[in-house]
Amino acid sequence: MKENNLNIAFFASHGGSNMQAIIDAIKAGVLEAQVGCIISNNSDSYSLKRAEIEGIKGYHISSKTHLTEIERIDYMLEILKKHDINIIVLAGYMKKLPVEVIDFVNGIVLNIHPALLPKFGGAGMFGMNVHKAVIDAKEKQSGATVHLVDSEYDRGKILQQWSVEIDENETADSLAEKVLKVEHKLYTDTLIKLSNGEISL
């Protein structure tokens, strides 16, 4: 990837606070990148509202808009092409990304996971399930991981990980809050390092 040439498509299903942190960094001039579009499988996703507020083109693509998987993939590819996207940033996207979509951006698909992979990753490890599992395992540390996405869950190359300490009275809720703050900084930092060539793929 050419330095300073990130044209991002976000894929999000829910709130999109990580996406917002990245958009804010771009607006503040901290991260050199553009956001071409936001795609959500959920018409009620706040990420689509954020798209509207930010003046970014938002698309709802699901079985409600396109009946078959083939139609959904074709539409995704059409959008990515139209906006000249060269990197996909998953921001709480709850669907598996089709391999055709991963291939369109030459495998440059990033995800953030709210734990220190490879621990606490894989099927079923999303949202509060992750933090509950970490607390139940009496871990001393957790954190967040930015990694490349391939066709397996949480398996792609790890790009950056930042850790947090787990306090004695930590609960899954307090840990989630702590980790989310780190996620916002880590995701932005990873994209900065990708755009300036400090991290190469």
Residues that bind ligand GRF (CB under 6 A): 12, 14-19, 91-92, 112-114, 180, 183
Q: Identify whether the C-beta of residue 16 lies closer than 8 Å to the C-beta of residue 44.
A: no
Whether cis (ω within 30° of 0) applies to the bond prior to 118 is yes
Nearest approach in angstroms of CB 198 to ligand GRF is 22
DSSP 63-128: TTT-SSHHHHHHHHHHHHHHTT--EEEEES--SPPPHHHHHHTTT-EEEEESS-TTTT-STT--TH
Q: Which two tokens mark 34?
A: 């553009």
Q: Nearest distance from residue 126's CB to ligand GRF, in Å?
A: 7
CB of 68: closest distance to ligand GRF in angstroms?
A: 27
Annotated catalytic residue within 14, 60, 113, 131: 113
Residue nearest to ligand GRF (CB): 92
Q: Name every residue whose Cβ is closer than 8 Å to that of residue 115 and which is 6 or more positions away in sequence.
A: 121, 125, 130, 131, 134, 142, 143, 144, 145, 179
Active site residue 113: yes
Q: Which is nearer to ligand GRF, 4 or 62 (CB)?
A: 62
Cα-Cα end-to-end distance for the chain: 8
Closer CB to ligand GRF, 86 or 111, in the complex: 111
CB nearer to ligand GRF: give 30 or 70. 30
Return the number of the residue (77 or 126) whose C-beta is nearest ligand GRF. Answer: 126
Minimum distance from residue 38 beta carbon to ligand GRF (Å): 12
Active centre residues (catalytic): 113
